[in-house]
């Protein structure tokens, strides 16, 4: 498989795969005016480290700026830690906008709606993704007092945001992504739930219904539920909660949307309730944010935290410490698209350190992803990361001061002086997992071997490197065996594969949906923001399966839930049995798009 390595030493100074280099050249590495790449991956990491370390000059404390830069650089170069895409793209450049996630308010007037649209365009232009709650917009048919006409409703205005996103390329490198949210008690909730039923509708939006505890209780008790005028709060009608919930699960079965956002659980965990109530999240749901708030993310590569078959807690402690410092620095050196972003982001100083390579780590530790042992380790691991992140934030508070809204936060009541209102987020990672060479976020492997559609138009045969090692040890590294695995995607039904390999090398569709959900809940227990996790379902899954998952997610105190039933998305980025001609005509292989790593099945990911 050496053919997958780049042979261009001039461009690739870290010996990355061909696909990784293609992604870097297209999305991340700096270019001149003629669109020629003018930096190497190593130089990109140095550029980012240098820019972020500049924040050290604002404080009279150790380490020095030069020491911090070197540590940041080494962590990225070794692919132990990678920040979110806008940081890699924009650090040290004209844009200088380093945050991935933003939430913008949408208020109920033409001026405010189009002001939000303009602000969205500015954020997308710099590489960020946006989330909106459209719950304040009056319902379709409501009186518009100034014109005596009728309101068109939130879904029609959402379509304007969708169309605008389609023509704005983020930072000149990729299309924007949005999250659209509507409260379950909005009179137009049925139109919202069914918004993606039409082909091509809202392609630039993930959709989620903001459901309340009362709604979920009414669903379970089969009671009626009131819909309310968003401007007056007065009831407009009643609907059977179970009927509305059935509409949600049916739409999710057909299209993958909408997901659910458990808005009461989110606000129970809101660190700054006196500043405002959280109404929306970023595009993938892992960042509940106040109006105009932004957050910068990064992930520790857990596969790099394993030494000699054991998890190195000492190494993990060190890397988490430097990663929290890095993210706090980003807040200092960031160029914010809007003054409102700067004001509230610097007032709360939220950061979101997460993980990737969880599935790889489990394989290296010989722990099946779909086991109770994996769930126990997930909780232990995330508790360790969360505790360490808070400790480092407290150390930074001693050196640099607490976040300005500290006195109006939950931490002041606990007398816990910290620098950042939040510290952890589990993001889907996407392309940064490709750069790091690991599995996506906390997702299982999506396939053992497969065909990759590279950005250049090339098709590459890829084998998971950990399986490649194991296959060579067991004498299975043969073209016919690898080809058969690539057709199945999974080892479980294949003959000639040892039970031990089948036990350890588990793929997404080998895992029961409820176990996917338990993994999400395990990480959520010790994550102060939220967790992005796709609950993978087979094409044969029923609406009832989705209903059960949505109810269980609320019970397990998740902050949101997203399902993906294979085949429900026309433009899915992973295909089982697509007829691709690779090596032999008319033979079917698992096929993945260039930037697919296991999460974000629809490709709507800005991380």
Catalytic site positions = 282, 284, 286
> Which sign, positive or negative, has the C-alpha torsion 171, 30, 89, 333?
negative
What span, in angstroms and rounded, lies between the C-alpha atoms of 37 and 32? 7
| Residues 6+ away with beta carbon under 8 Å from 80 | 300, 301, 304, 305, 319
What span, in angstroms and rounded, lies between the C-alpha atoms of 22 and 5? 11
User: Quick one: which H or E segment has residue 156?
Assistant: helix 154-167
Estimate the crossing angle of helix 241-255 against helix 213-221, to 10 degrees. Answer: 100
36, burial (CB in 10 Å: exposed 0-12, middle 13-18, buried 19+) = exposed
What span, in angstroms and rounded, lies between the C-alpha atoms of 298 and 323? 8
What span, in angstroms and rounded, lies between the C-alpha atoms of 87 and 331? 11
Give the three-class secondary structure for 430. Answer: coil
Q: DSSP characters for 532-580?
A: --EEEE-TT--HHHHHHHHHHHHHTT-SEEEEEETTS-TT-SEEEEE--
User: Quick one: which H or E segment has residue 599?
Assistant: none
DSSP state of 271: S
CA dist 244 → 183, 333, 392, 478, 480 (Å): 12, 46, 45, 52, 50
Q: How far is CA 593 from the centre of its chain?
A: 17
Tokens of 392: 């480092």
What span, in angstroms and rounded, lies between the C-alpha atoms of 285 and 117? 20
563, burial (CB in 10 Å: exposed 0-12, middle 13-18, buried 19+) = buried
User: What are residue 85's phi and psi, to 5 degrees?
Assistant: -55, -45
Task: In the chain, count H helices and then E strands.
Answer: 21, 24
- Other CB atoms within a 10 A radius of the CB of residue 536 amount to 24
Residue pair 90/98 in contact by the 8 Å Cβ criterion? yes
CA angle 42–45–51, rounded 5-degree value: 140
What span, in angstroms and rounded, lies between the C-alpha atoms of 386 and 316? 12
């Amino acid at each position: 498989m050496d053919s997958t390595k780049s042979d261009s030493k001039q461009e690739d100074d870290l010996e990355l795969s061909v696909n990784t280099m293609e992604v870097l050249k297209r999305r991340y590495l700096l270019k001149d005016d003629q669109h020629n790449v003018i930096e190497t991956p190593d130089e990109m990491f140095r550029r980012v480290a240098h820019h972020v370390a500049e924040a050290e000059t604002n404080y009279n404390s150790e380490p020095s700026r030069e020491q911090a830069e070197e540590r940041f650089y080494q962590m990225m170069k070794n692919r132990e830690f990678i920040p979110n895409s806008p940081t890699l793209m924009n650090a040290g450049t004209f844009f200088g906008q380093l945050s991935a996630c933003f939430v913008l308010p949408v208020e109920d007037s033409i001026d405010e709606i189009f002001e939000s649209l303009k602000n969205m365009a500015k954020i997308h232009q710099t590489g960020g993704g946006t989330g909106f709650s459209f719950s304040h917009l009056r319902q379709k048919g409501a009186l518009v007092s100034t014109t005596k006409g009728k309101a068109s409703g939130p879904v029609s205005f959402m379509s304007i945001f969708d169309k605008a996103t389609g023509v704005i390329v983020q930072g000149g490198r990729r299309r924007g992504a949005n999250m659209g949210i509507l409260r379950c008690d909005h009179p137009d909730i049925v139109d919202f739930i069914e918004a993606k039923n039409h082909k091509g509708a809202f392609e630039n939006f993930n959709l989620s219904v903001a459901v309340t505890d009362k709604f979920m209780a009414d669903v379970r008790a089969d009671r009626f539920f009131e819909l309310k005028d968003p401007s007056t709060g007065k009831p407009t009608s009643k609907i059977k909660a179970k009927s509305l919930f059935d509409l949600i699960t049916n739409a999710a079965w057909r299209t993958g949307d909408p997901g659910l956002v458990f808005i009461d659980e989110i606000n129970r965990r809101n660190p700054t309730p006196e500043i405002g109530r959280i109404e929306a999240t970023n595009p993938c749901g892992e960042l509940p944010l106040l109006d105009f708030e932004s957050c910068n993310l990064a992930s520790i590569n857990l596969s790099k935290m394993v030494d000699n078959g054991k998890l190195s807690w000492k190494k993990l402690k060190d890397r988490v410490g430097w990663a929290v410092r890095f993210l706090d620095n980003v807040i200092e050196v960031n160029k914010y698209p809007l003054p409102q972003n700067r004001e509230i982001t610097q007032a709360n100083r939220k950061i979101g350190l997460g993980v990737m390579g969880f599935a790889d780590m489990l394989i290296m530790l010989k722990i099946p992803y779909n086991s109770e042992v994996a769930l126990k380790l997930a909780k232990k691991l995330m508790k360790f990361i969360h505790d360490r992140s808070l400790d480092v934030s407290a150390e930074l508070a001693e050196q640099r001061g607490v976040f300005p809204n500290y006195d109006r936060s939950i931490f002041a009541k606990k007398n816990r002086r910290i620098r950042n209102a939040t510290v952890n987020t589990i993001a889907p990672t996407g392309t940064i997992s490709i750069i790091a060479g690991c599995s996506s976020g906390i997702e299982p492997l999506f396939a053992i071997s497969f065909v990759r559609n590279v950005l250049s138009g090339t098709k590459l045969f890829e084998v998971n490197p950990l399986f490649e090692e194991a296959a060579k040890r067991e004498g299975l590294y043969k073209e016919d065996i690898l080809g058969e695995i690539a057709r199945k995607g999974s080892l479980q039904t294949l003959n000639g594969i040892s039970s031990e390999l089948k036990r350890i090398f588990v793929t997404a569709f080998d895992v029961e949906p409820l176990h996917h959900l338990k993994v999400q809940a395990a990480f959520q227990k010790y994550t102060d923001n939220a967790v992005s996790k796709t609950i993978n379902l087979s094409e044969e899954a029923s609406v009832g399966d989705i209903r059960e998952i949505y109810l269980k997610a609320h019970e397990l105190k998740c902050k949101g839930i997203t399902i993906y039933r294979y085949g429900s998305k026309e433009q899915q980025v992973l295909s089982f049995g697509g007829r691709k001609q690779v090596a032999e005509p008319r033979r079917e292989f698992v096929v993945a798009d260039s930037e697919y790593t296991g999460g974000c099945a629809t490709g709507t990911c800005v991380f």
